[in-house]
Amino acid sequence: MLMTEFETFLEELENTSPSVQYGWSKEKEKSCDWLINRIQRKTRGVDIGGTEYICRKLQEKGCDPVYYDKTDPPKTITSFIKDDMENVLAHFPERSLDWITTRHTLEHCLLPLFQLWAYNRLLKDNGHLFVIVPSHSRDWVWFETHHNCLPHDNWVMLFYRAGFKIEEADAGTWWAKNHRFIEYRYRLSVETRNLRMGKPENPI
């Protein structure tokens, strides 16, 4: 079977993308705690991008988290899906999740509007999407595996177009000793199930 042009592109991207080893630190735990503290007990959701700390802490909290990443999960993880984020709709029924967390993952996404649209379809009416992304700066825009390291206004635009409402926006760090390590943090809820390609009356 002949590959489509997009499949050819994905194969080339996979073959040319560098392998990056991400370390862990107490300050990254504090970053994760921002969203963990906002998730209610005894709820079910998925962590897109696979952060072991998030899933472990949510399990301790009485939640039912699914670890989702294209790489093999840590040995401590029992509930996981190994796949690219673009295929998330194939793994969950529509309107079945209480929450979705995506920490430092959307900036690696090829199609962020599609990805947000997919998350909208998967969340319950009262569900929440938690997004953490690095701030827009030259260093992070040109980071080897980033495809969408956007300014705040661009993220706001994408959230709106995908049908989300921003309930909370914040900023923080995952390495306080370095001023470049600033991240945007968002708690979003579903406002509409439809794409909105226009402009809101009062953009944030």
- Give the CATH number for residue 41: 3.40.50.150
Whether 34 is in a domain gets the answer: yes
- pLDDT band at residue 127 using 50, 70 and 90 as cut-offs: very high
Query: How far does Cα 187 stand from its chain's mean position?
Result: 11
Whether 49 is in a domain gets the answer: yes
Query: pLDDT tens, 180-192?
Result: 999 999 999 999 9
CA 140 – CA 153 distance, rounded (Å): 16
3-state secondary structure of 35: helix
Beta-carbon contacts of 199 under 8 Å, excluding residues fewer than 6 positions away, are none
Whether 150 is in a domain gets the answer: yes
Q: What is the mean pLDDT of residues 173-198?
A: 94
Dihedral, 144, 146, 150, 155 alpha carbons, nearest 10: -170
Whether 133 is in a domain gets the answer: yes
* β partners of residue 155: none
Total tally of structural domains belonging to the chain: 1
- pLDDT band at residue 2 using 50, 70 and 90 as cut-offs: low
- Six-digit token pair at 94? 């529509």
Range(s) of the domain holding residue 127: 24-190
Whether 114 is in a domain gets the answer: yes
Whether 2 is in a domain gets the answer: no
CA 110 – CA 107 distance, rounded (Å): 8
Whether 196 is in a domain gets the answer: no
pLDDT at 1 over 60: no
